[in-house]
Amino acid sequence: MSKPIFDKVLIANRGEIACRVMKSCQLLGIKTVAVYSTADEQAKHVQMADEGVCIGPPASNESYLCIDKIVDACKKTGAQAVHPGYGFLSENGDFQSALAKANIIFVGPDAHSIQAMGDKIESKRLARDAGVTCIPGFIGEVKSHEDVLKFANEVSYPVMIKASGGGGGKGMRVAYNDKECVEFFDLCREEAKAAFNSDKMLVEKFIENPRHIEVQIIADRKGNTLYLPERECSIQRRNQKVIEEAPSVLLDPATRKAMGEEAVAMARAVQYVSAGTVENVVNPDKQFYFLEMNTRLQVEHPITEEITGVDLVEQMLRAAADLPLSITQDDIKINGHATECRVYAEDPTKNYFPSIGRLSMYQEPVGPGVRCDSGIIEGSQISVFYDPLICKLSTWGKDRAESIERMEKALDQYVIRGLRHNICLLRDVVTEPRYQAGTLTTNFLVEQYPGGFTKTDLTAEEKVTMYQAAAAIHVKREQLHYTQGGESEGQFYVSVGPKQDDEHPVFVRRVGENSFEIGATKAGPLKKVEVEWTVNFPIIVVRDGVKETFLQFWGTNEVSYGIQMKGTTFNVNVLNDLQSVLNQFVPEVQEGVNAKQVLSPMPGVIVGIKVAVGDKVVAGQEILTLEAMKMRNKIHAAADGTVNGY
């Protein structure tokens, strides 16, 4: 066996990306070191590593962002190299320099490349000097409300306000008027300072109805710089990617080649080494504009690996060890299509507010072409200190249609209990006709759900499938719970919600372990349906002879069953004749709203209060700023009143 590229590598990150890097290291025979905060002591990435070093308390600026602590961890463990993952210190030139000073190899680009491309203002200057077409913008730092308002009114709204050094959608917002411009400038600057320790801001014209398409590059120190097939990243919320795919349905081979060659030229202009990504805004006519370059491994890199077979982490390690890449440009081909969904701990029905909690049940989907990049296990805690990403779920198919179909099934079989998540949104998007047609822009979510995402709508056919499954489970449970065996058949009235507004008659006769004859009434006609479900097992599989449907079982309160379909959980009533009659007389519970209190819509930390005791406020007035999972949110008064205390 040949000697490993490195003996030991420290991963200066946490969560799924730390686990991802460790997997490649393990395959290459490289020992790994995890660093962790006290909040992550039992985390998956710590368990995966050969060694672990605690580097401080939960707050990132006291642990994962502390350069001295990570350098010290390398010295203690004898790690020869550091892979930074993404986020945290991955695009920090000072970090690279500090490692170099300590004779530790940084698995990434050199400091001068990070500084040139990591600063969005400087990168635009370099791009324009190199003849690359850029989005119209103010070339320089905007330091005040006056600066940002002056530019915004010169180029006309909308404008994009964003942190000069950062990424991941943090410190970035689109303003459509002067009021938003001022408010968003302050919010973005605060977020940037908290996340990247820099509040340097830039502003540029926001191109409406764009597509966000990026090109992956990889380079070594031997003069080899390659581009890989593009990734379409247009499905975004809060300027942060939610669903990506590779390749893009928009591009033709000529445009793909042009974008790739321009990305390579950009990389060579700054003597770039390692993996990086050139991001572009693309209009419907396939005209592309340089947006920025991320000098790190991207979150969505798995879909590029899925369609090319290239292990990007391995190539990064080779480049860092001063070895040539193991591939050439001619080796890179497009094989099939890949889709990635970012599964977040957040509630898409409440403006994507993050959710915290412990994963009381957690089962990742498996199957052909399914890949899960996660940093959690059952029992893991999702806290307020870090990004709410649970997993990057990827599916590969021989074509786009198969990739999407596999994604639908994988999302339906993804079991997450203990906190809110966005699977209902992801599931809805990938089945939308507009998405399946590939008609994408970065405004997709806003346009598709103009009032915000509420919940999944089921077709009449889908409701029947869910109702029949609930009735079949009811019969199966009844037989299991009686020592002499319960009735093997029954007539039921099934509906969703507290009243029978949509009551559906269902007759069920059990004829085998998972076999049922089902119809509206006993008189028929009856159809044979397979309902595969085991007590205490969350997945329900329904086969009606035409298609296979995956549902999830959330429990029961005797007459109502929690059934998850297409990512949304419904309370399904399964009532006999008497229960159906009596249920009509049960009063509905009315939820009250206390307008005298300002309740936080999410757990977080108050970082700014805009009012004082005794102040009179009006409905809609800003009360405070709340920070949760790296994002800042303005909280407003729900009614007129006077501040009595806090």
Question: In the structure, what pLDDT confidence band is assigned to residue 308 with cuts at 50, 70 and 90?
Answer: very high
More confident residue, 439 or 192: 439
Question: In the structure, what pLDDT confidence band is assigned to residue 209 with cuts at 50, 70 and 90?
Answer: confident
State which of 453, 486, 520 marks the end of a domain: 453
Using DSSP, state whether 230 is helix, strand or coil.
coil
Give the DSSP letter of residue 585. Answer: T
Judged against a pLDDT cut of 90, whether residue 645 lies above it is answered with no
214 located within any domain: no
What distances in angstroms separate CA 242 from CA 245, 374, 543, 566, one per listed residue? 10, 15, 31, 17
Identify whether residues 49 and 38 lie together within a single domain: yes
State which of 531, 549, 584 marks the end of a domain: 584
What distances in angstroms separate CA 377 from CA 155, 421, 539, one per listed residue? 49, 15, 18
H or E stretch covering 401: helix 400-412
316: left (phi over 0), alpha (psi -120 to 50) or beta: alpha
Identify whether residues 579 and 614 lie together within a single domain: no
Residue-wise DSSP of 135-163: --B-SS-B-SHHHHHHHHHHH-S-EEEEE
Question: Among candidates 345, 396, 346, 339, which has minimal Cα distance to 375?
Answer: 345
Identify whether residues 116 and 147 lie together within a single domain: no
pLDDT digits (tens, 9 = 90+) for 250-305: 999 999 999 999 999 999 999 999 999 999 999 888 989 998 899 999 999 999 99
Question: In the structure, what pLDDT confidence band is assigned to residue 643 with cuts at 50, 70 and 90?
Answer: confident
CATH, residue 53:
3.40.50.20
Q: What is the pLDDT of residue 630?
A: 58
269 located within any domain: yes
What is the distance of C-alpha 321 from the center of its chain?
A: 32
Pairing of strands 489-496, 353-354: unpaired
- By annotation, the residues acting in catalysis are 292
Q: What is the pLDDT of residue 558?
A: 66
pLDDT digits (tens, 9 = 90+) for 211-235: 999 999 999 999 999 999 999 999 9
Judged against a pLDDT cut of 90, whether residue 69 lies above it is answered with yes
Measure the CA angle with vertex 171, ends 234 and 229; round to 5°.
30
CATH, residue 572:
3.30.700.30
Contacts of 15 (CB under 8 A, 6+ apart): 43, 45, 375, 376, 386, 387, 389
Identify whether residues 186 and 330 lie together within a single domain: no
Identify whether residues 527 and 489 lie together within a single domain: yes
Identify whether residues 280 and 352 lie together within a single domain: no
231 in Cβ contact with 244 (< 8 Å) = yes
Q: What is the pLDDT of residue 588?
A: 63
211 located within any domain: no
Residue 288 burial (CB < 10 Å; 0-12/13-18/19+)? buried
What is the distance of C-alpha 225 from the center of its chain?
A: 29
Identify whether residues 79 and 157 lie together within a single domain: no
What distances in angstroms separate CA 256 from CA 288, 292, 334, 417, one per listed residue? 11, 18, 12, 41
SS (H, E, C) 601-613: CCCCEEEEECCCC
Distance of alpha carbon 295 from alpha carbon 123, whole angstroms: 11
305 located within any domain: no
Tokens at 256, concatenated: 């793909």
**Stated pTM of the model:** 0.84
pLDDT digits (tens, 9 = 90+) for 446-473: 999 998 998 888 999 999 999 999 999 9
Distance of alpha carbon 630 from alpha carbon 329, whole angstroms: 38
3 located within any domain: no
pLDDT digits (tens, 9 = 90+) for 587-616: 665 555 556 677 776 667 787 888 888 888
Identify whether residues 511 and 436 lie together within a single domain: no
210 located within any domain: no
Identify whether residues 192 and 268 lie together within a single domain: no
CATH, residue 625:
2.40.50.100
476 in Cβ contact with 533 (< 8 Å) = yes
1 located within any domain: no
Identify whether residues 493 and 412 lie together within a single domain: no
Distance of alpha carbon 167 from alpha carbon 191, whole angstroms: 11
527 located within any domain: yes
Q: What is the pLDDT of residue 582?
A: 72
Total domains, the chain: 6
Question: In the structure, what pLDDT confidence band is assigned to residue 500 with cuts at 50, 70 and 90?
Answer: low
CATH, residue 391:
3.30.470.20
Q: Which domain holds residue 40?
A: 8-107
State which of 532, 559, 584 marks the end of a domain: 584
Residue 646 burial (CB < 10 Å; 0-12/13-18/19+)? exposed
pLDDT digits (tens, 9 = 90+) for 340-349: 999 999 999 9
Identify whether residues 122 and 233 lie together within a single domain: yes
Q: What is the pLDDT of residue 171?
A: 85
Identify whether residues 346 and 428 lie together within a single domain: yes
